[in-house]
Amino acid sequence: GAVVSQHPSWVICKSGTSVKIECRSLDFQATTMFWYRQFPKQSLMLMATSNEGSKATYEQGVEKDKFLINHASLTLSTLTVTSAHPEDSSFYICSAEGPTNEKLFFGSGTQLSVL
């Protein structure tokens, strides 16, 4: 099946700094990628939909200036958490739409801890 690579797997940063998370489709082109956030023992909540070459679409309540999404190529989307605070600590997961548009493939996730 299609492979989605997400890096880093975990990151620890100081409050006020910015962190970039990368999501790559390794063997297929993904015009659309999705970014989810998951708190401990909870479900995945969609943050935004990333479209190659255009602005991301954010879900209600998600701060677009805090969670910057860039989808500059057909294989790479990035999520930048700007001026991170402890409440931003969470597990972030990306997914990419597969070649047939019928399945979504997930990255392995990034655990962000903000001190």
Partner 1 sequence: AQTVTQSQPEMSVQEAETVTLSCTYDTSESDYYLFWYKQPPSRQMILVIRQEAYKQQNATENRFSVNFQKAAKSFSLKISDSQLGDAAMYFCAYRSTPQGGSEKLVFGKGTKLTVNP
Residues that bind partner 1 (CB under 8 A): 31-32, 34, 38, 42-46, 49, 51, 91, 93, 95, 97, 101-104, 106, 108-109
Q: How far apart are CA 77 and CA 12, in angstroms?
A: 21
Distance CA 97, CA 44 (A): 17
| In the complex, least distance from residue 43 CB atom to partner 1, rounded to whole angstroms | 5
Shortest distance (Å) from residue 91 CB to partner 1: 6
Question: How far is the C-alpha of 7 from the C-alpha of 108, rounded, in Å?
Answer: 8
CB of 82 to partner 1, least distance (A): 23
